[in-house]
Structure 1
Amino acid sequence: MTQSPSALSVRESGTGTPLLLLHAFPLNAAMWSAQLDALPGRTGDEARVLAPDQRGFGGTALGTDEPSLDLVADDLALLLDAAGIERAVVGGISMGGYVALALARRHPDRLAGLLLANTRATADTDAVRTNRERIAAAVLARNSVQLLLDEQVAAGQLGPDSQHLVERVQALVAAAPPAAVAWAQRAMAARPDAQDVLAGLRVPVAIVAGAEDALVAVEEAELMARLRPDAELTVIPGVGHLSALEAPEAFDTAVRKLLARVAAG
């Protein structure tokens, strides 16, 4: 894997169809290790997989801008420019899905296809926004992400068949800087409803959900599928909120089907 010439830290492998994978909150691009190994294919030319660290996470600096997923989307457009990529298939999981939809709204011409996993197109409710601010304020005040380890990992982030991944997920969460966690929470809280963006996007769409996702209900995936009757919906049994980690083979199958649809035009 190589480093792409961009201000974003990015893991990259393969030489085929450009595939941009956007990680979940509050993880980083290391969550995509299985996809970076598998999705380029045996000959390496099935997909050119790029997995960037979003602002503040992994090896990417947070900067001083006010929280906004629009800025994260603009970062990705610049990354594609730097990598010499005109259009890419974009796959986002959880927060990465929100960013993918922001990219589709701000730079629709950069998308060749869209995969949305364990995410939603609707905006936050007032209750969710209030909780995001509670978390943001607490991690900053304590200069610690222990609150996320206590609440989020234990609250259904992983499905019943994925408890062997608890330590790995805890390590990824623990690596998140408190400032990045707070920034991302506030950016997610401020994001607009994206149902019209999803409905109007003129590229192939795939949707993935975990049947046991306690953070984003399967009904959210079904709503997105109703907005896009042409989308292929995959609900993975026994899987929680991190489908790409929990069931990489099923997740990768959905990605490959999307790549084939894009290639077929």
Structure 2
Amino acid sequence: MEKIKIGWLIAGALGAVLVTCAVLVYARYRRDMRTTRERVQNLGSRVIETDCGPIEYAAFGEGYPVLVIHGIFGGFDQGLVTARGQLEEGFRAIVPSRFGYLRTPLPADASPAAQADAYVCLLDALGIERAAILGVSAGGTSAIQFALRHPDRCSALVLVSSNAPGETEAGLPPKPLAKVLFRSDFVFWLLTTHFRSSMGSIMGVPQGFELSPEHEADIAETMETILPVSPRAEGALFDMYVSNPDINTGYPLEEITAPVLIINAMDDPLALYDNAR
């Protein structure tokens, strides 16, 4: 009988510890998500009405206009991180949230071609005749379409670790599972906060690559732009299952007339070097 009592006491103590840990974790989650939402709200984006519907964007700098197109799980905030890391003085960065990300709704036709047309609508609304375009990762698909469909509006095309025609090594999760995960701020908070090392492959870090403090800081800054993930879920799902595969439907890349710069690491596990070539 005494052993049974001790067993119950131990079980009760462990239960109390687990409950306390769960409460503390959830409290931190709520605090971090509040901070993250405030961060996005304070970045100064606006929603502008265009002939293609409402588009959220941010802009900074003075000089030649450059459209900066974010990748999967992004939004204008991720684009701002890219723009500030890639553009020097003398350029005006125009950074939209693509269809289904943050405050830009996902329309019935959200194809890469429609996204490219939306960039033209955004330029029209801002009174800009021509711009260069910089597409990163999944944003490269619509950037390529912009160069193909609107050569008179595209002065240059820059692709950084871009989606490209060809096979990829990354398999897709079942769509029903992805729908649940991509809409869960808590799951992505856990991944980016407590399992950050396992997120490296999602950020394009080769297995076994030794990160410098500067690399770690860059990755941490980009990971911050994944949260909150729920208002990015529709865009991320569309990218993964529709937009990214569209690159393999036979884009006439030889018809691009604008100057093109392609930047791709040879050991990138996501944007494969052979595809970029």
> What's the TM-score bracket when you normalise by the shorter of the two chains?
0.5 to 0.7
* Structure having the higher Rg: 2
- Contact conserved, 2:99 with 2:115, CA < 8 A, in 1? yes
Q: C-alpha separation between the residues in 2 aligned to 1:21 and 1:182?
A: 21
- Contact conserved, 2:101 with 2:235, CA < 8 A, in 1? yes
- Contact conserved, 1:108 with 1:201, CA < 8 A, in 2? yes
How far did 1:140 drift? 1.8
Question: Residue type matched to 2:228 in 1?
Answer: A
What TM-score results when the alignment is normalised by the length of structure 1? 0.67
The partner residue of 1:180 within 219, 232, 235 is 235
Q: C-alpha separation between the residues in 1 aligned to 2:105 and 2:198?
A: 24
How far did 1:208 drift? 0.9
How far did 1:3 drift? 4.0
The partner residue of 1:140 within 160, 171, 179 is 179
Q: Between the two proteins, what is the percent identity of the paired residues?
A: 22
How has the CA–CA distance of structure 1 residues 66 and 112 changed in structure 2, closer, same or farther, with 3 Å as cutoff?
Answer: closer
The partner residue of 1:21 within 50, 62, 68 is 68
How has the CA–CA distance of structure 1 residues 25 and 85 changed in structure 2, closer, same or farther, with 3 Å as cutoff?
Answer: same
* Aligned counterpart, 1:55: 99
The two structures, once aligned, show a CA RMSD in angstroms of 3.1
For 1:232-247, list aligned pairs within 5 A.
none
* Aligned counterpart, 1:153: 199
How has the CA–CA distance of structure 1 residues 34 and 183 changed in structure 2, closer, same or farther, with 3 Å as cutoff?
Answer: closer
Question: Residue type matched to 2:184 in 1?
Answer: S
Look up the SS of the partner of 2:59 in the other structure: strand
- Contact conserved, 1:14 with 1:40, CA < 8 A, in 2? no
Q: C-alpha separation between the residues in 2 aligned to 1:38 and 1:214?
A: 21
- Contact conserved, 2:136 with 2:159, CA < 8 A, in 1? yes
How has the CA–CA distance of structure 1 residues 165 and 34 changed in structure 2, closer, same or farther, with 3 Å as cutoff?
Answer: closer
Question: Residue type matched to 1:153 in 2?
Answer: M
- Contact conserved, 1:104 with 1:201, CA < 8 A, in 2? yes
How far did 1:219 drift? 2.3
- Contact conserved, 1:114 with 1:203, CA < 8 A, in 2? yes
How far did 1:89 drift? 0.5
Q: Give the gaps of 5 or more residues in structure 1.
A: 224-265
How far did 1:157 drift? 1.7
- Contact conserved, 1:16 with 1:40, CA < 8 A, in 2? no
